[in-house]
Structure 1
Amino acid sequence: MAKVMLEKAKTLEPLNPNKSTGVFGGESSGILNWNDIAYPHWYKMYKRLVGNYWQADEVNMQSDIKQFPTLTEEEQDAYLKIIGLLSTLDAPQTRTALLISLYATDPSVQSIMAVIAQQEAVHNESYSYVLSSVVSLDEQNKSFQLGRTDSVLLKRNENLTKQYNAFVEEPTIENILKTLVYTALLEGMFFYSGFAFFYNLARHNKMVGTSTMISYINRDELEHGRFISELFRATLAENPEYNNGTFIQWVYDHFKQSVELEIEWSNYVLGNVEGIDLDEMAGYIKYRANKMLRMMGLHDVYPDYTENPMKWIRAYVDNFDGTKTDFFEQKSRQYTKTSDLNGFDDL
């Protein structure tokens, strides 16, 4: 199949219809009427995203400032490494979301990706905020250098880096689809061993401010993963020549590779942390991979991991009813009753 480079979408084309004729490579005027879009349910996704607005400095870190020196050496090391991991992933995600929007010819996609890009910028700011609360500037800088210097982290991010850069160099439909695959992996699986570490601290009443921040990020990422999965399905449906055995096998292969790399990373960074079962963590990673594949319209690759093996983690993510936990009552979150109606099943 010959490579066809996509052009960046024009800002305004008044002779084209307002309702886009295609997500990528289609025609639209550039005028967004949310009541007349190609995928009407995306308006609800947009509303959920903007309803999640929060700022990093809303979170009270006073107790964390006092507690960080009391953590074990292993916990402190994992804390700094995982913040380094998360910043490595969220920083380029802002730019990737904006790049995807530049080639989207559906103005609703442009608007949704703009919100996602803004939220990813807030996430990255939050990592700077929590580190500045608990360690010196030198330690902060070391943590943010890990994405460039830690061999295990570099190996874990290598495939994602290659694909994101391939999209920059060759903006084709194939590279957009592959970038959406890695974005879905990032939003729906890559973060989760790191999230689990902070939730594990919180269930032992440690670093509750940090876990609150992570829960807000986690909530955003769940919504991002939903939309990216929808965008992948729509793009694949509009370009059926890629809906073939070769491409779908590429997706499954890269999911499996990513799972193995994530398990290797989690063993490396969580191996000496008390309270986390590494076999359970590996099962959770496989469960998350299955869940993202189903959201993308594909089938499970780990049939033995269709249920969440780390159910305790559900109590540490805010629900999707638009409310936020009071920052002075964080400890009560671990006793909150959960149900399938409040979004926790997405974990």
Structure 2
Amino acid sequence: METLTRVKVLEPAHPNKSTAIFGGKASGILNWNDLAYPHFHNLRQTIRSLFWTANEVDMTQDVKQFSTLTKAEQDAFLKIIGLLATLDGPQTTIAMKIADYTTDPSVKSIMATIADQESEHNHSYAYVLSSVTDLAKQMKSFEMGRTDEVLMRRNSRIVKVYNEFAAQPTIENALKSMVYTTLLEGLFFYSGFAFFYNLARNQKMVGTSTMISYINRDELQHGKAISDIFRAALAENPAYNTDAFTEWIYEQFKHSVEQEIIWSRYVLVDIAGIDLDEMEGYIKYRSNKMLRMLGLSEIYPEFTDNPMKWIRAYVDNIDDTKTDFFEQKSRQYVKTSDLNGFDDL
């Protein structure tokens, strides 16, 4: 396998329009009106239009409510924030690494935009925790990703694939890292998201849930962008479009679904209002959606429809009507100029 080289900043002898996503030629001059894949401009525009920052979300009521949650809810809250931080931190890095090796400047720009948003996601978890609990519990939550055995087993394959791309940046490893990026963006977060949405529909921790909705909305668009780039890169490199690679993808999806189900039953077992069988169906439904985005067939034909209907009120769907968060009666989005709205306490 040929190892990709880090792309130079400028190559004036090369054309402005990239000749390939990986291993091609491009000057480094980005003209959005002269792209190899014109719709990549729309991908970036959509992602950019979602801009938000964590400290715009009012956490006043969450500060008051956290201590009133049940012990099971508090434990799940901290564990799930730990999971999300564990996954979103590396997402900033992997987007930047893909940017380092892509020879298409429009892809580089998209990855830079995604990296910036993932960085804000990671910041938002620290913001939430600093709002609702003490420093010791904040630190413990962020230690979850390297100390909790269930979480470590769950994340072991994504760690392997990402680190293999970092150590050996080949086209094959770039494709594999994008498969896992779509899994992360479109599947790995969703039992955690469901937990926060379940709190919100019971009028609990609405500020946190609102922020999670914005993160969820971002992740859906990131997954769409990465899957489009993956399909374009695979079409450019048909030698990798093999039955063996397709089977590898299916096997990773099946494994990831299994691990997400194990995780959901571990972290949500004592949470009132969440049916774990329904959650399992939702995970399989999400898996089918992400496979379709990659251009592959569904592996769970009995879950082509969303079995967790109530969650639609909280989630932006790429192929469904988008929720206007300002119109949701069960949540409020309030910009505040002071950190966490403490002046309102």
- TM-score normalised over the length of structure 1: 0.93
1:219 corresponds to which letter in structure 2? Answer: R
Q: What is the Cα deviation at residue 244 of structure 1?
A: 0.8
Select which of 115, 121, 135 maps to 1:137: 135
Q: What is the Cα deviation at residue 162 of structure 1?
A: 0.4
Counterpart of 2:237 in structure 1 is 239
Query: Matches of 1:62 and 1:333 in 2, distance apart?
Result: 13
Counterpart of 1:304 in structure 2 is 302
Select which of 28, 31, 35 maps to 2:29: 31
Query: In structure 2, the residue corresponding to 1:158 is in which secondary structure?
Result: helix
Select which of 119, 126, 130 maps to 1:128: 126
- The runs of at least 4 consecutive aligned structure 1 residues that moved more than 2 Å come to 317-326, 329-334
Counterpart of 2:13 in structure 1 is 15
- TM-score normalised over the length of structure 2: 0.93
Select which of 246, 253, 269 maps to 1:271: 269
Is the CA contact (8 Å cut-off) linking 1:215 and 1:317 kept in structure 2?
yes
Per-residue CA distance 1:270-306 (angstroms, 9 max, x = gap): 0110000001101100111110000000000111111
Query: In structure 1, the residue corresponding to 2:307 is in which secondary structure?
Result: coil
Query: Matches of 1:322 and 1:252 in 2, distance apart?
Result: 29
What is the RMSD computed on CA atoms of the aligned residues?
A: 1.6
Select which of 110, 113, 119 maps to 2:111: 113
Change in Cα spacing, 1:149 to 1:219, as seen in structure 2 (3 Å) is same
Query: Matches of 1:201 and 1:332 in 2, distance apart?
Result: 11
Counterpart of 1:227 in structure 2 is 225
Query: Matches of 2:317 and 2:299 in 1, distance apart?
Result: 28
Q: What is the Cα deviation at residue 323 of structure 1?
A: 9.3
Q: What is the Cα deviation at residue 48 of structure 1?
A: 0.7
1:245 corresponds to which letter in structure 2? Answer: D
Change in Cα spacing, 1:322 to 1:249, as seen in structure 2 (3 Å) is closer
Unmatched tracts of structure 2, length 5 or more: 333-345
Select which of 160, 165, 183 maps to 1:185: 183
Per-residue CA distance 1:210-231 (angstroms, 9 max, x = gap): 0000000000000000001001
Is the CA contact (8 Å cut-off) linking 1:315 and 1:333 kept in structure 2?
no
2:4 corresponds to which letter in structure 1? Answer: L
Select which of 196, 200, 205 maps to 2:194: 196
Select which of 282, 291, 306 maps to 1:293: 291
Query: Matches of 1:330 and 1:142 in 2, distance apart?
Result: 33
1:216 matched to 2:204: no
Counterpart of 1:89 in structure 2 is 87
1:45-60 pair list within 5 angstroms: 45-60=43-58
State, as a whole percentage, how many aligned pairs show the same letter. 65
Is the CA contact (8 Å cut-off) linking 1:52 and 1:322 kept in structure 2?
no
Q: What is the Cα deviation at residue 38 of structure 1?
A: 0.6
Query: Matches of 2:204 and 2:185 in 1, distance apart?
Result: 25
Query: Matches of 1:151 and 1:131 in 2, distance apart?
Result: 22
Change in Cα spacing, 1:324 to 1:266, as seen in structure 2 (3 Å) is same
Q: What is the Cα deviation at residue 322 of structure 1?
A: 9.8
Unmatched tracts of structure 1, length 5 or more: 335-347
Query: In structure 1, the residue corresponding to 2:301 is in which secondary structure?
Result: coil
Query: Matches of 2:118 and 2:287 in 1, distance apart?
Result: 21
Is the CA contact (8 Å cut-off) linking 1:212 and 1:330 kept in structure 2?
no
Q: What is the Cα deviation at residue 333 of structure 1?
A: 5.4
Query: In structure 1, the residue corresponding to 2:296 is in which secondary structure?
Result: coil
Query: Matches of 1:143 and 1:254 in 2, distance apart?
Result: 27
Query: Matches of 1:44 and 1:293 in 2, distance apart?
Result: 22
1:200 corresponds to which letter in structure 2? Answer: N
Q: What is the Cα deviation at residue 9 of structure 1?
A: 1.1
Is the CA contact (8 Å cut-off) linking 1:208 and 1:331 kept in structure 2?
no
Query: In structure 2, the residue corresponding to 1:5 is in which secondary structure?
Result: coil
Q: What is the Cα deviation at residue 311 of structure 1?
A: 1.5
Q: What is the Cα deviation at residue 79 of structure 1?
A: 0.3
Counterpart of 1:68 in structure 2 is 66
Is the CA contact (8 Å cut-off) linking 1:11 and 1:30 kept in structure 2?
yes
Is the CA contact (8 Å cut-off) linking 1:205 and 1:331 kept in structure 2?
no
Counterpart of 1:337 in structure 2 is none
1:220 corresponds to which letter in structure 2? Answer: D
Counterpart of 1:172 in structure 2 is 170
Counterpart of 2:336 in structure 1 is none
Per-residue CA distance 1:96-151 (angstroms, 9 max, x = gap): 00000000000000000000000000000000000000000000000000001000
Is the CA contact (8 Å cut-off) linking 2:121 and 2:215 kept in structure 1?
yes
Is the CA contact (8 Å cut-off) linking 2:203 and 2:330 kept in structure 1?
no
